[in-house]
């Protein structure tokens, strides 16, 4: 890399043997005397980041008891909604970044023929961001639709080193058929590059880190470097020193913080690997060494990696699957000792519904950590949260009955102005969730799209100031 007093490119990278580190946005990327809005750096920084997250098995708050007690859907629509009663309460500090959307359906997850009856758990994830009906097959001839994240990535992904990344918390390494005649891939991924092209999801944070920072060489060379406790940044010492000398105080501070974040995440991954390779019994005995046994630790680490990727503009698109249909995992942090799948099949018992609502709340409680990190990361003239659109929802409504009407869905962030958050919008009964995703894609620049999945039209993001739902 040659440094001059001219402004540097937004695509400047530091390169070493087996390592490539993209830089965060720096003031030095704006030419002196040039209006920021007119620079290529501003255009790159202005691109919206998209995160598509799936919560499986619906929400306790969509059950009859849950609706009556507002365990997911706030009582009031408009801007004066109350989150205190339900599973969305952890988002109260970010209510001005929250859009609650109720009464939209994921009908493409429903059975349409007799052989499909009962197979909801094994086709729902494929529907979440495609809103197309999966072909019933256990073979390789899978067919559903192109997912929302990939439609966006295909339009803007060529502008970044990595078009998109797909992450997961649960194991998704099964092959062949799962149950009810469905191929496992339908429940293993939420990201489809084409109707017949499911994308694999990464569970191991080490793999994510090495994709982001180009930790190349052979597996043996990478293992040898990790054994020395050296960071990838230690391979770039000269370049980092040269770069610091050319920067102003603000940029130096931003670069130092970025480097600190990389080292901290790298160290956390190394500690997890060491702990899980010590020979001590694990809660997740079959998981890779880099996968934390703790759900909370795993999710936060994956969120931190996403913030790093967004900060460096390495990619602008993530899909993130935080659960797997049929999982019996227990979440101690929720205070519930019953397994996840069993909890979702609550039999309409009020006590069991409340338990499942606590699990839903625990999952939602992971989001503020991500939002805080995005809000703290400056990207040009605004923070990353203002430039990010996060969808979080489920293709099921009531896990107990495998119902797909009135599915839980929230949107976080402003998406660069794509939405005006801080509102609860209740759709007209029978509205496809696909309408929401179609309209968001159009607002993200895909304004030539006329339909998506089973959409019936555009979605109105306006709502009265306050009405009772």
Q: Please tell me the predicted confidence (pLDDT) of residue 219.
A: 59
103 and 66 co-located in one domain: yes
Does residue 6 belong to any structural domain of this protein? no
Q: How far apart are CA 305 and CA 111, in angstroms?
A: 37
52 and 146 co-located in one domain: yes
267 and 165 co-located in one domain: no
280 and 267 co-located in one domain: yes
pLDDT band at 383 (very low <50, low <70, confident <90, very high): very high
pTM of structure: 0.91
Q: Please tell me the predicted confidence (pLDDT) of residue 49.
A: 97
For residue 56, give the nearest of 292, 369, 363, 454 by alpha carbon. Answer: 363
38 and 130 co-located in one domain: no
Reported as type and span, the H/E element at residue 77 is: strand 76-78
Does residue 120 belong to any structural domain of this protein? yes
**Average pLDDT estimate for 38-48:** 55
Q: How far apart are CA 50 and CA 152, in angstroms?
A: 8
Q: Please tell me the predicted confidence (pLDDT) of residue 39.
A: 47
SS3 16: strand
Q: Residues 392-429: pLDDT tens digits?
A: 999 999 999 999 999 999 999 999 999 999 999 999 99
242 and 366 co-located in one domain: no
31 and 124 co-located in one domain: no
**Average pLDDT estimate for 147-169:** 96
SS3 148: helix
**Average pLDDT estimate for 56-73:** 96
Does residue 3 belong to any structural domain of this protein? no
57 and 137 co-located in one domain: yes
**Average pLDDT estimate for 60-79:** 96
Does residue 350 belong to any structural domain of this protein? yes
Q: How far apart are CA 270 and CA 277, in angstroms?
A: 10
Q: Please tell me the predicted confidence (pLDDT) of residue 465.
A: 61
Range of the domain at 313: 48-203+294-468
Q: How far apart are CA 106 and CA 124, in angstroms?
A: 9
222 and 172 co-located in one domain: no
**Average pLDDT estimate for 431-444:** 98
- Residue 197 has a CB neighbour count (10 Å cut-off) of 12
Q: Encoding tokens for residue 387?
A: 């430039």
Q: Encoding tokens for residue 181?
A: 């005649």
Does residue 324 belong to any structural domain of this protein? yes
Q: Please tell me the predicted confidence (pLDDT) of residue 247.
A: 82
64 and 148 co-located in one domain: yes
Q: Please say if the pLDDT value at position 253 is more than 90.
A: no
Q: Encoding tokens for residue 196?
A: 């017949």
Q: Please tell me the predicted confidence (pLDDT) of residue 42.
A: 44
Q: Residues 171-223: pLDDT tens digits?
A: 876 666 688 999 999 999 999 999 999 999 999 999 999 999 875 555 555 56
Query: What length is written for the chain?
Result: 469
Q: Please tell me the predicted confidence (pLDDT) of residue 317.
A: 98
**Average pLDDT estimate for 21-40:** 65
- How many domains does the structure of the chain reveal? 2
Final residue belonging to a domain, choices 290, 324, 346? 290
Positions of E strands within 313-406: 317-321, 378-379, 382-383, 388-393
Final residue belonging to a domain, choices 256, 290, 324? 290
Does residue 209 belong to any structural domain of this protein? no
Q: Please say if the pLDDT value at position 443 is more than 60.
A: yes
Contact 104/121 with Cβ under 8 angstroms?
no
- The DSSP 8-state label assigned to residue 387 in this structure reads G
Helix, strand counts (H, E) of the chain = 14, 17
Does residue 101 belong to any structural domain of this protein? yes
For residue 53, give the nearest of 132, 206, 169 by alpha carbon. Answer: 169
Average pLDDT, the chain: 89
Q: Please say if the pLDDT value at position 40 is more than 60.
A: no
**Average pLDDT estimate for 150-162:** 94
Q: Please say if the pLDDT value at position 354 is more than 90.
A: yes
Q: Residues 260-278: pLDDT tens digits?
A: 888 899 999 999 999 999 9
303 and 223 co-located in one domain: no
pLDDT band at 462 (very low <50, low <70, confident <90, very high): confident
Q: Residues 298-350: pLDDT tens digits?
A: 999 999 999 999 999 999 999 999 999 989 999 999 999 999 999 999 999 99
Does residue 4 belong to any structural domain of this protein? no
Final residue belonging to a domain, choices 248, 275, 290? 290
199 and 310 co-located in one domain: yes
Q: Token match 């349409």: residue?
A: 112
Q: Which residue has the higher pLDDT, 64 or 172?
A: 64
Look up the CATH number of the domain holding residue 432. Answer: 3.40.720
Q: Residues 96-120: pLDDT tens digits?
A: 999 999 999 999 999 999 999 999 9
pLDDT band at 45 (very low <50, low <70, confident <90, very high): very low
């Amino acid at each position: 890399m040659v440094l001059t007093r001219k402004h540097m490119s937004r695509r400047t990278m530091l390169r070493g043997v087996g390592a490539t580190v993209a830089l965060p946005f720096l003031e030095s990327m704006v030419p002196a005397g040039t209006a920021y809005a007119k620079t290529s750096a501003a255009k790159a920084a202005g691109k919206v980041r998209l995160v598509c997250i799936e919560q499986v098995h619906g929400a306790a708050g969509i059950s009859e008891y849950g609706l009556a007690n507002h365990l997911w859907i706030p009582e009031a629509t408009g801007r004066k909604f109350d989150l205190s009663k339900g599973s969305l309460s952890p988002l109260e500090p970010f209510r001005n970044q929250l859009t609650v959307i109720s009464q939209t359906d994921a009908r493409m997850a429903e059975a349409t023929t007799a052989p499909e009856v009962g197979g909801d758990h094994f086709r729902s994830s494929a529907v979440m961001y495609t809103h197309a009906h999966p072909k019933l097959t256990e073979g390789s001839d899978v067919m559903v639709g192109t997912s929302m994240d990939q439609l966006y990535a295909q339009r803007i992904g060529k502008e970044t080193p990595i078009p998109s990344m797909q992450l997961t918390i649960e194991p998704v390494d099964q092959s062949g058929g799962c149950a009810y005649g469905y191929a496992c891939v339908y429940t293993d991924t939420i990201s489809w590059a084409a109707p017949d092209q499911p994308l694999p999801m990464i569970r191991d944070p080490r793999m994510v880190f090495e994709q982001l920072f180009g930790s190349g060489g052979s597996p043996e060379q990478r293992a040898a470097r990790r054994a020395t406790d050296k960071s990838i940044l230690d391979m770039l010492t000269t370049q980092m020193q040269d770069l610091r000398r050319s920067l102003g105080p603000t940029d130096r501070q931003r670069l130092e913080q970025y480097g600190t974040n990389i080292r901290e995440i790298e160290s956390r991954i190394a500690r997890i690997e060491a702990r899980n390779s010590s020979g001590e019994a694990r809660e997740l005995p079959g998981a890779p060494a880099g996968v934390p046994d703790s759900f909370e630790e795993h999710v936060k680490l994956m969120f931190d990696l996403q913030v790093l990727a967004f900060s460096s503009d390495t990619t602008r698109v993530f899909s993130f699957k935080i659960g797997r249909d049929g999982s019996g995992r227990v979440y101690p942090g929720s205070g519930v000792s019953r397994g996840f799948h069993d909890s979702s099949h609550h039999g309409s018992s009020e006590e069991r519904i409340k338990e499942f609502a606590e699990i839903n709340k625990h999952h939602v409680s992971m989001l503020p950590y991500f939002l805080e990190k995005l809000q703290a990361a400056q990207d040009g003239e605004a923070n990353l949260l203002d430039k990010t659109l996060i969808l979080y929802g489920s293709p099921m409504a009531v896990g107990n009955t495998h119902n797909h009407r009135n599915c839980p869905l929230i949107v976080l962030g402003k998406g660069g102005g794509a939405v005006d958050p801080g509102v609860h919008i209740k759709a007209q009964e029978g509205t496809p969730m696909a309408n929401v995703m179609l309209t968001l894609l159009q607002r993200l620049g895909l304004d030539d799209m006329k339909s998506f999945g089973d959409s019936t039209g555009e979605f109105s993001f306006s709502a009265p100031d306050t009405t009772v739902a």
